[in-house]
Structure formats: structure tokens, C-alpha cells
Amino acid sequence: MLKVASWNVNSLNVRLPHVQAWCASAEPDILALQETKMTDEKFPVEALRESGYHSVFSGQPTYNGVAILSRRPGKDVVTDLEGLDDPQRRILAATYGDVRVIDLYVVNGKEVGSDKYAYKLDWLRHVTDWIEQEVARFENVIVMGDFNIAPDDRDVYDPEAWHERILCSTAERTALQKVLSLGFQDTFRLFEQPDKSFSWWDYRQAAFRRGMGLRIDLVLASQAMAERCTSAYIDVEPRRQERPSDHTPVVAEFD
């Protein structure tokens, strides 16, 4: 079995104990992290090795940052895309056995129509073109991370309030569909799921307690991997902890 997970930790410096505790209990084989918010020099390689995990990472101070923790070392690591001039650390890929894992922290976009929104859509175009190249190289591909896009209205606590707002706009959802059209399945939707299943809740307005969330953290699997997927779920328990990330882990398991 292969168990993979994705978690926007919103500062690994703050949430390292949460990550270590969750890894000890959930025992993922591969865990993709986003918003590590630390430079490569400060990445806790040794602490995570003591927890049983190898690390590949691409970081910067204060913002962004991605990492992949794994039981076995990764190879063929990619942190930058040719043709995408972007100093922000949002992209990471590595190969584990015969599985290519891509970790994305997609641009937020701030608000529909803004410069950051245009940047988000352009970034997604570049990344989608690159993923298409990866699919041509590898049969078994998993793309996971914080997509900052709720795939459809089932993934939004109040679709009417969020209609055409950032994270839920038609252009963003269309961009996500272009990734899926490369042959990917949203693993969460391969199985019957509870209504109002979310992976992110704002820190404000007691959003978590009130169920005011969005599902924006995804595990996408190529067709060969999707056929092997045996379960997919969201683990909300880490969001209940003290000083939690505003996101919680999303998990998929494969034969």
C-alpha cells in the first residue's frame, strides 16, 4: 500500500510538532507540505529524519515554501520550471519508486480581476503545460497540494456567497479542469463522501466550529494511479489542536 497526504502547515517552524505527531499516528509514506515559510538552511532535516522521513524542499523566508517528506529518498527533483520566471517557492517534484509526485502551492490570487488574479491564471497555464510533459514521461503521477481552488459548489460551505469570488471563480475552476483533463482524477471524489467536507477554514468568525470551510487541498491521480486508489479522506483532527494551521491533511491510499 502507498499512503500519500498533503497539508498546508502555514509555517513549519510553528507546526513541526504537529507534523511529527501526525506522521507518527497516520504513518503516511509521502507527505507533501505547503507554506513551510522557511529558508532551506533552516529546514528541520534531522528532526524529520528522526521521525523516519527523508526530505526534499524548496523554501524562502516568511512566505510560500514547499516540501515532500517520504519514507524512501526521492530522486529527479524539480524546483523550477523552464519558462516560468517566478522566485516564489511553490513547485516541487520528485520520484519515489515508479511514482512521480508533484507538490503545488498554487497562487492565491487575492481577488477576481486583480493583478494577482491574472498572475494566478498565468502561473496555472505554465504549470499545466509542465504537468502535461510529466505525464508523458511517467505513467504513475500524483499531483497534490493547496490548489487555492474549490473544484465545485459541493466544496464550498455557502456557494451563493462565494459565487465568482476568489477560489471559486469560473476561470479558476476552468484552469483546474485543464489539469484534470490531462488524465487525472480527484481522488476524493472517487468515493462517497460526507456532505460539507472541507480542508480549509478561515481563522476568523469561528469558521471551523461553524463549518464555514472550503475544500481547496487536493490529491489528483493519473489514471493508472486512480485505478489503484482504495480510499481518500480528510483528517480534520489536526485542525482541532491548539495553534493549528488553517488547513488540515488530505489523504489518499493506493494498492
pLDDT in tens, 4-55: 999 999 999 999 999 999 999 999 999 999 999 999 999 999 999 999 999 9
Q: Which CATH superfamily is domain 2-254 in?
A: Endonuclease/exonuclease/phosphatase (3.60.10.10)
The catalytic residues are: 105, 146
**Contact, 123 vs 117, CB < 8 A?**
no
Write the CA distances from 94 to 18, 61, 178, integer angstroms.
24, 22, 22
Report the share of the chain in percent with pLDDT over 70. Answer: 100
Domain ranges of the chain: 2-254
Which pairing describes strands 30-34 and 2-8: parallel, antiparallel, or unpaired? Answer: parallel
Amino acid identity for residue 55 in this structure:
S
Orientation of helix 170-180 relative to helix 115-137, angle to 10°: 10
Mean pLDDT, the chain, integer = 97
pLDDT of residue 225: 98
Q: Specify the DSSP class assigned to residue 167.
A: T
3-class secondary-structure state, position 122 = helix
pLDDT of residue 124: 98
Q: Specify the DSSP class assigned to residue 148.
A: S
pLDDT of residue 190: 98
Model pTM above 0.75: yes
List all residues 6 or more positions away from 167 whose beta carbon is below 8 Å from its beta carbon.
108, 109, 148, 149, 150, 214, 216
Q: How confident is the model at residue 180 (pLDDT cuts 50, 70, 90)?
A: very high
pLDDT of residue 233: 98
Tell me what the mean pLDDT of segment 102-121 comes to: 98
Write the CA distances from 122 to 6, 85, 86, 128, 176, integer angstroms.
24, 11, 11, 10, 12
Give CA angle at 98 (93, 102), nearest 5°: 20
Determine the Cα–Cα distance for residues 120 and 90; give it in Å rounded to an integer: 12
Q: How confident is the model at residue 207 (pLDDT cuts 50, 70, 90)?
A: very high
Determine how many CB atoms are found less than 10 A away from the CB of residue 238: 20
Determine the Cα–Cα distance for residues 135 and 142; give it in Å rounded to an integer: 10
pLDDT of residue 85: 84
